[in-house]
Structure 1
């Protein structure tokens, strides 16, 4: 698996479709998804963390996507996973471990030892994966609509 930095002009359709699918898997629909808002946010974040926004490619085909940033949380600098994504046909094959390895290296390079993410409580496969890679639940946010999880390097 290789990782290619996202170029919005080149990868627009791919990243939008990936994000929409992740939204659907998390929430059961795409009603709250705004393509223009997402692309605007993505453009801003890529300026700050270009190596944190990558597509995973295997055998010439895009099979996944990572969106990684660094932010402040409760007075500490932490890594933040905005998106771990694999295309539906690639899920359940152990490929998430390669995404996680890339994410850990990104966080190490940015000198953070703790990273967080949010996941829908109904996304059982994602929660199982996050537990498998050593993440723990911290609690719920947004009136129970998401679970915050954290891991350490």
Structure 2
């Protein structure tokens, strides 16, 4: 698997497709997905963390996407996973580990000791994967709509 930095001129349709599917997987539908807002946010974040926004590629096929940043949380910097994504047919076959290893390497370059993400309580497959890679649930947020999870480098 190789990782290619997202270029919105080249990858616009693919990142929209993947992000829309992530909404369906996490929340049951993509009605809350706002394409223009997402593209504007993505454009700004790519400027800040170009190596944190990548597509995963295997055999000339884009199979996944990562969105990673560094942010302040309770007075210190942490890594933050905005998106771990694999195409449905690529899930559950060990490819998530490669995404996770990329994320750990990215966060390590910023010298943070922990990373967080949010997951839908109903996304059991994702939650199982996060537990498998050593993350722990630290509480619910947004009136129980998401669970915050934390991992350590």
The 3-state SS of whatever aligns with 1:40 is helix
Q: Which residue of 1 aligns with 2:18?
A: 18
The 3-state SS of whatever aligns with 1:32 is coil
For structure 2, the residue ranges without an aligned partner over 5 or more in a row are none
Q: Which residue of 1 aligns with 2:7?
A: 7
For structure 1, the residue ranges without an aligned partner over 5 or more in a row are none
Paired with 1:107 and 1:89, the residues of 2 have a C-alpha distance of 27
The 3-state SS of whatever aligns with 2:66 is strand
Q: Which residue of 2 aligns with 1:148?
A: 148
Question: CA shift at 1:110, angstroms?
Answer: 1.0
TM-score by length of 1: 0.99
Paired with 1:40 and 1:76, the residues of 2 have a C-alpha distance of 26
1:40-92 deviation digits (Å, cap 9, x = unpaired) = 00000000000000000000000000000000001110000000000011011
Residue 26 of structure 2 is aligned to residue 34 of structure 1: no
Paired with 2:65 and 2:18, the residues of 1 have a C-alpha distance of 7
Q: Which residue of 2 aligns with 1:124?
A: 124
1:109-151 deviation digits (Å, cap 9, x = unpaired) = 1111100000000000000000000000000000000000000
Q: Which residue of 2 aligns with 1:68?
A: 68
1:85-114 deviation digits (Å, cap 9, x = unpaired) = 000110110000000000000000111110
Q: Which residue of 1 aligns with 2:81?
A: 81
Residue 101 of structure 2 is aligned to residue 101 of structure 1: yes
Structure 1 moving runs of 4+ over 4 Å: none
Residue 104 of structure 2 is aligned to residue 134 of structure 1: no
TM-score by length of 2: 0.99
The 3-state SS of whatever aligns with 1:12 is helix
Question: CA shift at 1:4, angstroms?
Answer: 0.2
